[in-house]
Structure formats: structure tokens, C-alpha cells
Chains A and B, each alone.
Chain A
Amino acid sequence: MTRGLIPLLLLATLLLALLSLSTGPVALSPLQGLKALLLGGDGPLPVILRAIRLPRTLLAVMIGGSLGLSGAALQGYLRNPLAEPGVIGISGAAALGAVLAIQTGLAALFALALPLAALGGALIAVLVLLGMSGRRAGSLTLILSGIAISALTGAATSLVLNLSPNPFATSEIVFWMMGSLADRSMSHVWLAAPFMALGLILFLPVGRGLEALTLGEDAAASLGIALPALRLRIVLGTACMVGAGTAVAGSIGFVGLVVPHLLRPLVGARPGRLLWASMLGGAVMVLAADVAVRLILPDRDLKLGVLTALIGAPFFLHLVWATRRERA
């Protein structure tokens, strides 16, 4: 099971990406879509594929992957299966950063201000969370801190949008809280890509450290793991990945919770292996959810985060229950 998992997830990602490219208001067969995407040609089809569906599909893979990866990394570092960027307020803080960049006009001045501000928001939230929850994050502290951060950043985001002179701004609170991949363009892909790549590079070597942390901080340190460097990588990597994703698609919750939870038994619960399985699993989940929102309510912009929360929240409750039982 364990050995075949990664190829299986890769295959699922590929198939769902194809499905995502063939799903939309304009009916197309996968073959037609692929042809228009790769060969181009005249008429509207290449435009639809290359300018509308390709960025959407790429962002689903990138954002899903980054959420799965950072969720697994956070859980491994905090040794707590409830740690998830959306649930503990990191996405909310990133959204606040993005909204501030847009509403102050900074994002219009130079494009990178948007992901940078979101990254800054996420970074502050991660630091506050790690500061609050200490070395081994107890579930209660972690979740309570997360609730406080979510409430604060949610209120601040609403305030900033309410103060905007733009009448549409207020209705965007939903987008920032629930996230959507509708009508994104390649420019969003290029905006997020460098930061996600940086996050990926930061996360590349953390597997060993997370494995060792299974035994606690002291044992991990004695196994030659440099814990301050590991912590720095986790903090910056999470901020990069969650910040960049939230800046272009709003906050999409529970992906980093559901995916590691489902995959953990399949990798023998080893946090290092879980990282990469979770990255692919996240891509699979967001691709599937994004196809689903287009099929369920084709005429409306059903928010992606609504669907992931509907799936994820029951998982969360289940995990809380299981954790309570184990630690009681």
C-alpha cells in the first residue's frame, strides 16, 4: 500500500487535472480540450483553455499541494493532528494582509505587494501561534489561540472592506473567508508560483527532523536535529505557501487537516513520508472540490472553501473526539 501510494496520487492528480480542464460552462470533451490547450489554433477554444481553465487548474494543484504540505508539516512539528493553516487562523491572517495590500493601493503600485503582504500576515500568525502554544502544542491552547486569531483577523478584514469606498468591497468578505478559484488568470499563477517554490525549497529537508520529533524535542535534538533551523523552515515555509495561496484565491480551509488525516494510516503514520503524500493528496482534494463546485452549481460562483469546510468540519470534530479519547 505504502509503496504504491505516491504513484497512485500522482495518477489521480493528473486525471483530475484533465477533468478540471474539461469542466466548465462551455461543454468540451477532454480530447478537444487537450488539443486546444496544446496545439492552439483559431477560434475561442484555445483562449478558453489557455487563459481561463489552465490557470484555474494550475492554481488548484499549487494551492492544494501547498495546503496539504504545510498542514502535514505543521502537524509534524507541533505533533498535533488538529494543526491546520485555516483552522488555526493562518489563512485568515494572510487574507487580512492581502486585503490591506489591495485597499491601501499597495498592490496596484507593484504586483508582488499582494503575496508579500499576505505572507507577512501569515508569518505573524504562525509566530503568535508558536509563541502561544509553546513547544508541544496542546490541542486546547492551539485551537483557542486559533479561534482568537481567526476572529481578530476576520473582524479586521471586514472592517477594512467596510471602510472601502468601493461598494463591491463589502461583498468580498465571503471570498476572503471561503476562497474561490473562479476566473483567475495566468498572472495569478505567476504571482503565487515563486513564493510557493520558495516554500517547497524550505520544506524539502524537514522530513528527517519531523520523523525525529516523533520522539519529542529532546530525543530529536540528541539525534542531531538542529531544532531552531527546523522551526525557522516550518515557519517561513508555511507563511510562504499559505500566504501566496491565500493572496490569489482567498482562504480555503480544512484541506491541510483532511488530507493528512486520511493519508496518515497509509504511510505508517510517519510524518516525513506524510509530507509528500499530503502534498499530492492536497492537490487531488482541491482539484476534485473545484470540479465539484462547477458541477453542483454551474451558474453560481459557489465558493471552494464552502465545499472543503462541509467535508472538513466533520473530520475536524471526529479528530477532536479521537484526540480527547486518547489524551483523557
Chain B
Amino acid sequence: MPVSAATARLSRRPVLSRVRLSLLALLLATPVLAADPAPRRVVSMNLCTDQLAMLLAAPGQLVSVSRLAADPRSSAMAQQARSYPQNHGQAEEIWQMRPDLVIAGSYTARATVTLLKRLGVPVLQVQPARSLSDVDKLLRQVGDALGRTAQADTLIADFDTRLAALRAEVRRRPRAAIYQANGYSSGDATLAGEILEAAGFDNVAGPGGGTFLPLEKLVMADPEVLITSVPYPGASRAEEILHHPVVRDIRARSHTTTVLDHDWICGTPHVLEAIAALAETRKALE
């Protein structure tokens, strides 16, 4: 198609009338369609929305997930993600996929999201989960956006049932701490904190959100179980604290091999795997 014809067709669209004729716009082969209730070409560009979309989408509806979704260190659905083309969260590459819905996290890739919106692509921004109850909300939100409300209802019902079953059997609540790179810990008011709570542990980091837990405070709290993150490949000084003799001692006493892995990161039904694994650790302490 000659460039002048494309320009003419573009200029008829009210959404784009505000957009100056950028080089990017000139290069377009096909204009996007307006978002309709059941999008047919969905691109997700955030690790957590990737997993929600994979759980909810109809066959063929989801056309791309982010690169991180295929990384088993961060994604609970890495295997599944490999069957989708990956994106790197860059506006140009996502535009080329001609999506009629982009799902992004609300805090990540803001520049990209702004650019896509200006180009007239419908973007759904999803808040990260801060609690277990957020899992239901997220399933509902993404399910609605994909036009997959029934699938969302099924997943929500299943999640609630399994969560209730895991919560049921707690007798003693041992003290536990989450300890990650740089001495970062999670209080009760975080997803990780609620996972601890649901699995029957008391969190020594106390109420509140994410916080740096000084090594000294960790020693004073003397947790029975210490849950650390899996070291990434390649050394870093941030993770060196996990090898501090003090941390090693507490870990050696805490009889657990549980680590913060991909099940802890996103508010999806996969958090149940994390809770179940922790519950096993707790039973071993009894």
C-alpha cells in the first residue's frame, strides 16, 4: 500500500487525529481496530499478567507473553510460556504484533504503555497482588477483559476451596522470616506475608509491607524457619548477605529446604503451591 493511502486512512481515525504523524505511524501497514468486548489478539507484557492470561485465555486469543514468563526462576508457568512468542516490552515490537488488547502491570514499562496508548492501542493496566484476596480480583479483572468470565469463575471457586482447605489444619504457629537479597523481608501486608500466614506461620517481620530487616533484628527474633530466595546465577553482593555466618546458622537450625521461588511472586492460583510446601515444613516441625 502506498504511504499516502495509509496516511489518508489513518487520518480518518479520531483517536489518531491527536497523534502527530510520527515516523512510526507512517510505517504502519495496517491500522488497529477499536477494542471490542472479546479481544482476539492479546499481548501481555508483564510476568504476572502473562500467567493470568495463560490461565484464562481461549485458544489462540493470547498472541505473546513477556520474556520473563519463560524463565523458570521467576515464572510458575515457564513450560507453557514457551509455546507463545516472547516480547521484550518494547513499544515497537508490540505494535508490530497488531494487538487489540495489551495487558501490562501498573508500575512497569510506563513509557511503553503511554506510547501504546497514544498510538491507540487499548491497554489494560493491572495492579500487582498485595494479598491472597487480590488473586480473586485479578482473575476476575483479566477474565472480564478477555471476555472469559466463566473461566474466571471456575478458577476463583477452585482457588477459594483449596485455600480454605490449607488454612483449616493449623495447631501451633511457628515463627518464620522471609529473608532475601539485601536483607529484604516482607511484612504481613504483602502477598508473601499472607502466604506465610496461610501456611500457619507467624511472621517475625511484623505488620506492614516490604521492609529491610537488619541482620541484628533477625538474630534477636530468632525465627524457627528462614525462607530465603534462590540465588541467581552470577554472583552479586546483594545476595552475599544470604551467606553471612549468622544467616547460615539460622538456616541450618530451621530444618527447611523451602525457598522463595516462582510460586511466591505473582498473585495467581500458583501461590497455593507455595502455601502447601510451607505447610509441609510446618508439619515437620511438630
For B231-247 the 0/1 string (1 means CB < 8 A from A) is 01111111101001110
Query: Shortest Cβ distance from B258 into chain A, in angstroms?
Result: 21
Chain B proximity of A157: nearest CB distance (Å): 12
Query: How far apart are A28's CB and chain B's nearest CB, in angstroms?
Result: 9
Stretch of A167-175, A192-200, A232-240, A280-288 at the chain-chain interface: A167-175
Specify which of A53, A168, A301 lies most central, judged by the most chain B CB atoms within 10 Å of its CB.
A168
CB-defined interface of A60-75 with B at 8 Å, one 1/0 digit per residue?
0000000000000000
A101, chain B: closest CB distance, angstroms: 9
Chain A binder among B13-21, B198-206, B214-222, B264-272: B214-222
Interface stretch among A3-11, A43-51, A135-143, A211-219?
Answer: A43-51
A168-B181, A185-B245 given; A25·B235 CB < 8 A: no
Q: In the assembled complex, which residues on chain A have CB atoms less than 8 Å from the CB atom of B237?
A: 102, 168, 172, 175
Q: Which of B214, B220, B239, B245 has the most CB atoms of chain A within a 10 A radius of its CB? A: B214
- B212 touching A108 by the CB < 8 A rule? no
Chain A residues in 8 Å Cβ range of B212:
299-301
Interface residues of A in 255-310 (CB under 8 A from B): 299-301
CB pair B241 A183 closer than 8 Å: yes
Q: Does B182 sit at the interface, judged by CB under 8 A?
A: yes
Considering only CB atoms, which chain A residue lies closest to B74 in the complex? A167
A241 to B233, CA, bound (A): 31
Residues on the B chain within 8 Å of A48, using CB: 216, 219-220
Return the chain A residue nearest B217 by Cβ. Answer: A25
Contact present for B214 and A169 (CB under 8 Å) = no
Instruction: Quote the shortest CB–CB distance from A111 to chain B (angstroms).
Output: 12
Answer whether residue A107 sits at the interface, using C-beta atoms and an 8 A cutoff: yes
Contact (Cβ within 8 A) A168 B236: yes
| B183 contacts A by Cβ under 8 Å | yes
- Asked whether A103 and B234 contact (CB < 8 A) given A26-B216, A168-B181, A183-B215, the answer is yes
Distance between Cα atoms of A186 and B246 in the complex (Å): 11
- Interface residue count on the A side (C-beta < 8 Å): 30
Tell me whether A222 is interfacial, beta carbon within 8 Å: no
Q: Give the CA-CA distance A169 to B239 in the complex, in Å.
A: 9
Residues of chain A lying within 8 A (CB to CB) of residue B236: 102, 164, 166, 168-169, 172
Q: Is B220 a contact partner of A26 (Cβ separation < 8 A)?
A: yes
Q: Which residues of B contact A108 (CB under 8 A)?
A: 235
Q: How far is the CB of A189 from chain B (nearest CB, A)?
A: 12
Query: Complex: how many Å from CA A102 to CA B237?
Result: 9
Is A168 in contact with B220, judged by CB distance below 8 angstroms?
no
A105 at interface by CB-CB < 8 Å:
yes
Contact between B238 and A183 (Cβ–Cβ < 8 Å)? no
Beta-carbon contacts of A31-67 to B below 8 Å, as 1s and 0s? 0000000000000100110011100000000000000
In the complex, A165 has a CB within 8 A of chain B: yes
Q: Are B215 and A52 in contact (CB under 8 A)?
A: yes
Name the contact of B216 in the complex, choosing from A24, A171, A300 (C-beta under 8 A): A24
- 9 shortest interchain CB distances as A-B pairs: A168-B238, A166-B234, A168-B236, A25-B214, A165-B234, A166-B232, A166-B236, A164-B234, A26-B216
Q: Which residues on A are within 8 Å of B, measured CB to CB?
A: 24-26, 44, 47-48, 51-53, 102-103, 105, 107-108, 164-169, 171-172, 175, 183, 185-187, 299-301
B contact residues vs A (CB 8 Å cutoff): 181-183, 211-212, 214-217, 219-220, 222, 232-239, 241, 244-246, 249
* 6 A-B pairs with C-beta separation under 8 A: A25-B217, A26-B219, A47-B219, A166-B233, A168-B237, A168-B238
